[in-house]
Amino acid sequence: MAPHISVIIVNYNSGARLRRCVDCLKAQDFRDFETIVIDNASSDGSAAFARDDGAVTLIEAGGNLGFAAGNNLAAKSAQGEWLAFLNPDAYAEPDWLSEFLAAAARHPEIDAFGSTQLDAARPDRIDGAGDAYHAFGVSWRGCYAWPKDKLPPEGECFAPCGAAAFYRKATFDRLGGFEERFFCYAEDADLGFKLRLSGGGAMQAPKAVVLHEGSGVTGKESDFTLYHGHRNRVWTYVLNMPLPLLVLTAPFHLLLNLYLLGRFTVSGGAGSYLRAMKDAAKGLPEIWERRKARQRAREASVADIARALTWSPLKMMRREADIRTRLKTR
């Protein structure tokens, strides 16, 4: 019989992190799941560990497909009703899967759930409590670096953070999966936005907990992270924002980009940021064509999308979680 959940881990030179991640899955108190590791041509021997572990199904991509395409490829062979996307630097608590299933049972109308992410180095600090999305075109992990005792209650978030996210497989397939042009970073916010456009919503399940290093492989402040994060931030905004909201918020989006340029000029990283903006602009013709199809398929109203966005600049600056108690249902 097919497993209830398929846990998918994209591996690229994750080293000992992958072993720890898989060991945490072996300790789960819910057992009806499969673990799929897709390896993006790692050179550190971590694929060999996955190949020799009988609890893991290894898919060798043959090259570095990135996070988005790697997850999409693994999802094609997944057998579960639910897909659990887990970063190799995210370490699940033993009741992670069972707490997710309890939340899914309470909210059967919801097709996507996020986990509580605690800082692996400082578990008394929150690493993320659902992704929020500001109307000016920027997403963030809610309550990032806040004390654990400030964790928000169960409720609707804009999107689950892709480091430890659950999607109903039928919904993931219907949405077309992650946007492969992104390679990595921001594809979780983009997928959550696609779900919103289709009329769906996402729930944050606070009792489903992982410890997360956060860019443990790519580096939190690396040029790679900065480049992909900001290029894809622009594309997410252009792809998804309904036209009336795009016209309303575009001047503020441009001002935000200029502000970030100034900040990176002072703190370092201006070169990578400028390259991200240049490549974001070069890719806009193709992104705009993809936007047309996405907006034609939109089922949610402009008002629905406006209500799901965060509008407060203060919440964005404080990286506050924007958890709603009233759910949007189809």
Which residues of the chain have a pLDDT value below 70? 215-220, 326-330
* Alpha helices (H) along the chain: 16-26, 46-52, 66-77, 96-106, 169-175, 187-197, 223-240, 243-267, 270-282, 284-296, 302-308, 313-318
Q: How far apart are CA 93 and CA 76, in angstroms?
A: 27
Structural contact between residues 133 and 123, judged by C-beta atoms closer than 8 angstroms? no
94: left (phi over 0), alpha (psi -120 to 50) or beta: alpha
Residue 326: the pLDDT is 59
Q: How far apart are CA 18 and CA 115, in angstroms?
A: 19
pTM of the model: 0.94
Task: Provide the residue type at 304 as one letter.
Answer: D
* 247-269: b (≥16 Cβ within 10 Å) or e: eebeeebeebbeebbeebeeeeb
Q: How is the chain split into domains, by residue range?
A: 5-212, 223-311
3-state helix, strand, coil in the chain (%, to 5): 45, 20, 35
Closest CA to 72 of 24, 31, 114, 40: 40
Q: 5-212: which CATH number, 3.90.550.60, 3.40.1440.10, 3.10.180.10, 3.30.450.40?
A: 3.90.550.60
The pLDDT tens digits of the residues spanning 127-140 come to 999 999 999 999 99
Nearest to 111, CA basis, from 160, 184, 76: 160
**What phi, psi does 328 have (nearest 5°)?**
-90, 120
Q: What is the mean pLDDT of the chain?
A: 95
* pLDDT reported for residue 327: 53
Neighbours of 315 (CB within 10 A): 16
- For the chain, the maximum distance between any two Cα atoms, rounded to a whole number of angstroms, is 57
Q: Which amino acid is at 45?
A: G
Residue among 280, 149, 168, 167 nearest 206 (CA): 149
Q: Which helix H or strand E contains 17, and what residues bound it?
A: helix 16-26
Which tokens belong to 102?
A: 């309890």
pLDDT of residue 330: 46
